[in-house]
């Protein structure tokens, strides 16, 4: 049995952050308790056949808040997952959705397995049985609770979930809206896979563009001179590093479970990714210094760190060794409250997870809308926009007697694709939400951190929803 004391800390940390922010609001204690409490916790077990025997699988689905419907959150496949972690992640989803103005309540799922120890057929059996259990208890549906990928799961698993739900709900028009993160062929949405990492990059870019805030920590505004270390080379970490590099930052360090590499002159993320694919490790990459201890890689000289792996990576035991001035939380809960207090006292800025990694749920919202409308974004207006722009260009050429170069014409005339519309919506969401958080921090300086300010905004929005709903009966 796992140590229960160790298993019951993450949700307590989330509640601790909530309580720190709640003091800056004027809502009654009973309402605050309602917002903080998990509304529904479903813990269940189911058997599967393995070889000549059976194995019992532990699983959870937590719906944290019903102030908005449906609830929304990923399903984590991990042998380390436990009820406390799922509750904490569900709560963070509630606050995350409120911060980026996505009309969902928060939820999360967990299946306690090591995916590497199961065949594809066994994983399909586990996923479909898990989905069936959710259906039986009314814990899934396009208007009820909409899962998504998380650590250990992806498009494949979401396809199995969608197929299982549709099979058991024949004729339901909006059935595909029961889950997001699906492949494009199953009416997923372009841009979903890289959305979380792209959102992290937008969040970091927006933070460092505020010259006043950068001056306080001795930085110039902009990403051009910023050195970044990224922890994790999975979906979130890879895309965070990729887009930050595209925006002008220099990736100087990459950390994985097998170790870390560092090059003060910069690393090519795609080349490192290819090296790991070929060798099984990021270690030994040409021109980079190796660290067998991954945490040691995080302690190297840099300006920004992006932890994009698991929770509790920065604690009071190691936070003082971090040389970065900005921590952008690509993962959920990578910094403990105690570590955040110390880092803030050191003059650092933490871009909190509940905002920083909200790109995934934002684009999941777009996918859900696409599934409910039964039409791809841009399909109705793309050609109309292109033709209208072409007519405008032709009119200008006729009036001026000058011809626009073909490459320039193409740029102007072209209508927006689904991917471009998704990225535009994501970028606008991340920009607006960051400045909304920062404005609260400026107006209420006692909040001290972006995380507390984000919590304040989230609590206020959820409180309004609950008060408008009322209590029945």
Enzyme catalytic residues: 108
Phi and psi angles of residue 469, each rounded to the nearest 5 degrees, phi first? -70, -35
The residues, any chain, with a CB within 8 Å of residue 394's CB and separated by 6 or more, are none
- Is 72 labelled a binding residue? yes
Rounded Cα distance between 251 and 86, Å, is: 32
Rounded Cα distance between 455 and 353, Å, is: 11
Contact 229, 272 (CB under 8 A): no
Contact 68, 95 (CB under 8 A): no
SS3 labels along 112-143: CCCHHHCCHHHHHHHHHHHHHHHHHCCCCECC
Q: Count of H helices and E strands in the chain?
A: 18, 12
Of residues 453, 334, 271, the one with CA closest to residue 89: 334
- Is 447 labelled a binding residue? no
- Is 289 labelled a binding residue? no
The residues, any chain, with a CB within 8 Å of residue 176's CB and separated by 6 or more, are 142, 162, 166, 182, 186, 187, 371
Annotated binding residues for substrate? 72, 96, 364
Binding-site residue set:
72, 96, 196, 235, 364
Give the residue numbers of the binding site for NAD(+).
196, 235
């Amino acid at each position: 049995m796992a140590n229960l004391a160790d298993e019951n800390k993450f949700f307590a940390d989330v509640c601790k952050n909530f309580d720190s922010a709640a003091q800056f609001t004027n809502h009654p204690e009973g309402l605050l308790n309602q917002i903080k409490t998990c509304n529904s916790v479903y813990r269940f077990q189911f058997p599967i056949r393995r070889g000549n025997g059976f194995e019992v699988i532990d699983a959870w689905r937590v719906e944290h808040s019903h102030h908005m419907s449906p609830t929304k959150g990923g399903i984590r496949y991990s042998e380390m997952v436990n009820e406390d972690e799922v509750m904490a992640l569900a709560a963070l989803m509630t606050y995350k959705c409120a911060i980026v103005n996505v009309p969902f309540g928060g939820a999360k799922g967990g299946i306690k397995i090591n995916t590497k120890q199961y065949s594809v057929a066994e994983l399909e059996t586990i996923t479909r049985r898990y989905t069936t259990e959710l259906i039986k208890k009314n814990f899934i549906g396009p208007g009820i609770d909409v899962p998504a990928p998380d650590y250990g799961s992806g498009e494949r698993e979401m396809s199995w979930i969608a197929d299982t739900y549709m099979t058991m709900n024949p004729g339901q028009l909006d059935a595909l809206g029961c889950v997001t993160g699906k492949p494009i062929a199953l009416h997923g949405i372009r841009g979903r896979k890289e959305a979380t990492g792209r959102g992290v990059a937008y969040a970091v870019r927006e933070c460092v563009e505020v010259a006043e805030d950068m001056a306080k920590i001795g930085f110039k505004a902009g990403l051009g001179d910023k050195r970044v270390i990224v922890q994790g080379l999975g979906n979130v970490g890879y895309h965070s590093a990729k887009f930050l590099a595209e925006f002008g930052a220099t990736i100087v360090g990459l950390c994985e479970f097998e170790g870390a590499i560092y090059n003060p002159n910069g690393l090519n993320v795609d080349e490192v990714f290819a090296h790991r694919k070929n060798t099984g490790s990021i270690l030994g990459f040409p021109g980079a210094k190796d660290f067998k201890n991954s945490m040691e890689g995080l302690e190297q000289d840099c300006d920004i760190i992006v932890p994009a792996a698991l929770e509790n990576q920065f604690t009071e035991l190691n936070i003082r060794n971090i040389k970065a001035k900005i921590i952008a939380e690509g993962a959920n809960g990578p910094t403990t409250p105690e570590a955040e207090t110390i880092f803030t006292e050191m003059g650092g800025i933490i871009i909190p997870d509940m905002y920083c990694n909200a790109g995934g749920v934002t684009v999941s919202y777009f996918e859900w809308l696409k599934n409910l409308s039964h039409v791809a974004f841009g399909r109705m207006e793309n050609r109309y926009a292109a033709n209208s722009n072409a007519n405008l260009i032709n009119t200008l050429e006729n009036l001026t007697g000058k011809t626009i170069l073909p490459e320039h014409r193409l740029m102007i005339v072209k209508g927006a694709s689904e991917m471009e519309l998704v990225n535009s919506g994501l970028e606008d969401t991340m920009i607006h939400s960051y400045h909304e958080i920062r404005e609260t921090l400026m107006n209420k300086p006692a909040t001290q951190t972006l995380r507390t300010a984000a919590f304040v905004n989230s609590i206020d929005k959820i409180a309004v929803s609950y008060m408008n709903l009322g209590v029945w009966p």
